[in-house]
Structure 1
Amino acid sequence: MKVVNSAVEEFTVGYYGICAAGGLISAGATHLAITPLDVLKVNMQVNPLKYNGILSGFSTLYREQGYSSLWRGWSGKLIGYGLQGACKFSLYEYFKKLYGDVLVDQNKGVIFFMSSASAQVFADIALCPFEAVKVRVQAQSNFAKGLADGFPKLYASEGLHGFYKGLLPLWGRNLPFSMFMFTTFEHSVEFIYEKLMQRKREDCSKSQQLAVSCLAGYTAGAIGTVISNPADNIVSSLYNKKAANAVEKIGFGNLFTRSLPVRIAILGPVVTLQWFFYDSIKMMTGLPTSGGLRRHLKDADFLGYEV
């Protein structure tokens, strides 16, 4: 199967390299841009009495710690989530092709779930050390200024274990998010082209294709955020030594609602922009926008591929 008018052949080393570069740029840049919201989110999770709202939380941070406090952990966001994005997007494409070829008779949704979960496992291994430092920098004003002094300080106090003790909760947060995000995105793209636009992808303009990616991306981000919110609260508590009784202190119901508005405010636009940048980079290299499982002849034909 080949892609129409593509300058790069799909499922080659060059193709996965482009996907990795697109994921690196899109995830790193978008997560860097929303660092102030992330700082507020972490503080709302670990100190909800003091930071009990978005506007009041920003006001408290600015008043007590100054403007620079809103950008604490920016280097961890840029590098950590950039590496995570590179692994997540490129490996998702790799596993989707692999599982699609092997599990020929399997339902598409199962392929999407398995592919995103497999990719996220490796992506979080790359992210975990940066996340460990970032959360401490954001929630503990006296811990460190950033990665440069945070890494050696964490290693000196907790060793290698300190960088990865949050890996299981991180998987608990990001695996459900990724699985529902990618699967929702795939089904949303298919629904928009087939039911709403009633046109093949190749018959749409570049701007229309990117608009589809953005709409599907926002829907996917919102659903993934709701699903992953309980684990996100536990991750923040763990890094601040409160996870042993996090559920008891926060309350089971509050795990689903605490910091949810600010997380939706963060991840809705972030995921939308990630798909926009990611697919823009793919289009600039002659590749089609994302969505679709190549092993399905009917899907490939509808979405605008030659078999």
Structure 2
Amino acid sequence: MLAGALAGISEHTVIYPVDAIKTRMQVLPSLSPSALLAQTSGANSSSTLTASSSLLSHLRHASTTQSLRTLWRGVASVIMGAGPAHAMHFGTYEFVKEVAGGDREGLRGVGGTALAGAMATTASDAFMNPFDVIKQRMQLQSSTYRSVIACAKHVHATEGLRAFYISYPTTLLMNIPLQAVQFSVYEILKSFLNPTGEYSPSTHIAAGGVAGGVAAALTTPLDVAKTLLQTRGTSNDARIRNARGMAEALKIIVARDGWKGLRRGMSARVVTFAPSTAISWASYEFFKSLIKSQDYQSSAMA
């Protein structure tokens, strides 16, 4: 759990600016035309954003119209939530994997690993979801929040406690398959690249990066729906503001942006997840190996 907490903080803080751009890419197409015009007014033609703007376009826009420091806005929420959430995540994962036979060979091992990943995200997301809502509200380009506490108070006062968990079912529907795919691909690649099972940083980075990228690409549509639900209180569109769940969010996205709307932010999401998952697994395996080594040395001295 300690290794997981340290890995979670490392993962989220390093990749946070790209995650902020991903949020903006997913929210922007859902704004009303007047809000979009207001948001991009004053920017020159080379930095004006459209619904199909690329990751680099958003990065250039942030650097020319705002300070790049705004891409770090809300990072405190992630730091506060990521440690405990990832402690639950990896603690649950290791426990369930052992009980379910995830260390065995063949389909039984893959099934046990997938189940462990699904159970781990169910536990950690219950804790992390409110922090994720605050993070995404602060990541918006038009956000005026200057602290996590101020954002939390405003969301609670204007939308109630339910706003912090309106996206939880969608988050689970996204993260359960995401984590099942990610953990399964990671364990398979790790075993293939490093059959001895010894600590190997390069193996953990490579396997983690591929696993994160694959899982992120496959679950992008659900992530777009989750973002819509978590930021609905900032929209000028009455239908978005009153969206109640994943199914309705998906319908709104397709109605307003077409099927391509379900892929909004996929490039940024993959760019975020591949290195962040690599960092997470590399950090986790490093801290786990370090803690085990210290425990072994303590036992030997005793």
TM-score, length-scaled by structure 1: 0.77
Deviation at 1:229, TM superposition (A): 0.8
Measure, in 2, the Cα distance between the counterparts of 1:51 and 1:64.
19
2:235 match: none
Matched-pair contact (CA < 8 Å) for 1:43–1:51: no
Measure, in 1, the Cα distance between the counterparts of 2:277 and 2:185.
12
When residues 142 and 218 of structure 1 are mapped into structure 2, their CA distance, relative to the original with a 3 A threshold, is closer
Question: Is 1:46 aligned to residue 27 of structure 2?
Answer: yes
Deviation at 1:282, TM superposition (A): 1.2
Percent of aligned pairs sharing the same letter? 25
When residues 163 and 124 of structure 1 are mapped into structure 2, their CA distance, relative to the original with a 3 A threshold, is same
Deviation at 1:143, TM superposition (A): 4.6
* Counterpart residue identity of residue 66, structure 2: Q
Question: Is 1:21 aligned to residue 17 of structure 2?
Answer: no
2:83 match: 82
1:233 match: 224
Matched-pair contact (CA < 8 Å) for 2:213–2:271: no
Partner of residue 259 from structure 2, selected from 252, 260, 284: 252
2:36 match: none
Deviation at 1:232, TM superposition (A): 0.8
TM-score, length-scaled by structure 2: 0.78
Question: Is 1:219 aligned to residue 220 of structure 2?
Answer: no
2:113 match: 112
Matched-pair contact (CA < 8 Å) for 2:7–2:281: yes
Measure, in 2, the Cα distance between the counterparts of 1:183 and 1:104.
12
Deviation at 1:80, TM superposition (A): 2.4
Question: Is 1:31 aligned to residue 43 of structure 2?
Answer: no
2:246 match: none
* Counterpart residue identity of residue 275, structure 2: P
* Counterpart residue identity of residue 26, structure 2: Q
Matched-pair contact (CA < 8 Å) for 1:28–1:78: yes
Measure, in 1, the Cα distance between the counterparts of 2:290 and 2:67.
41
1:303 match: none
Measure, in 1, the Cα distance between the counterparts of 2:187 and 2:277.
14
Deviation at 1:213, TM superposition (A): 1.4
**Where does structure 2 lack aligned partners over 5 or more consecutive residues?**
30-49, 233-239, 241-248, 294-302
**Where does structure 1 lack aligned partners over 5 or more consecutive residues?**
1-19, 195-199, 288-307
When residues 213 and 134 of structure 1 are mapped into structure 2, their CA distance, relative to the original with a 3 A threshold, is same
SS of the aligned residue for 2:210 comes to helix
When residues 143 and 238 of structure 1 are mapped into structure 2, their CA distance, relative to the original with a 3 A threshold, is farther
Measure, in 2, the Cα distance between the counterparts of 1:248 and 1:67.
33
Measure, in 1, the Cα distance between the counterparts of 2:144 and 2:86.
27
* Counterpart residue identity of residue 128, structure 1: N
Question: Which runs of structure 2 are paired with 1:131-150 in the superposition (5 Å)?
Answer: 131-139=132-140, 141-150=142-151
SS of the aligned residue for 1:286 comes to helix
2:126 match: 125
Partner of residue 280 from structure 2, selected from 261, 267, 274: 274
Deviation at 1:247, TM superposition (A): 2.9
Matched-pair contact (CA < 8 Å) for 2:113–2:183: yes
When residues 252 and 57 of structure 1 are mapped into structure 2, their CA distance, relative to the original with a 3 A threshold, is same
Measure, in 1, the Cα distance between the counterparts of 2:215 and 2:171.
14
SS of the aligned residue for 1:93 comes to helix
Matched-pair contact (CA < 8 Å) for 1:22–1:86: yes
Measure, in 1, the Cα distance between the counterparts of 2:259 and 2:173.
16
Aligned Cα root-mean-square deviation (Å): 2.4
Deviation at 1:178, TM superposition (A): 0.7
When residues 104 and 269 of structure 1 are mapped into structure 2, their CA distance, relative to the original with a 3 A threshold, is closer
Please identify runs of 4+ aligned residues in structure 1 that moved more than 6 A: 103-106
Task: For residues 248-291 of structure 1, give each alpha carbon's deviation from its aligned partner in whole angstroms, at most 9, with x where no partner exists.
Answer: 22323441x3211111111111111111111111111236xxxx
Measure, in 2, the Cα distance between the counterparts of 1:69 and 1:105.
47
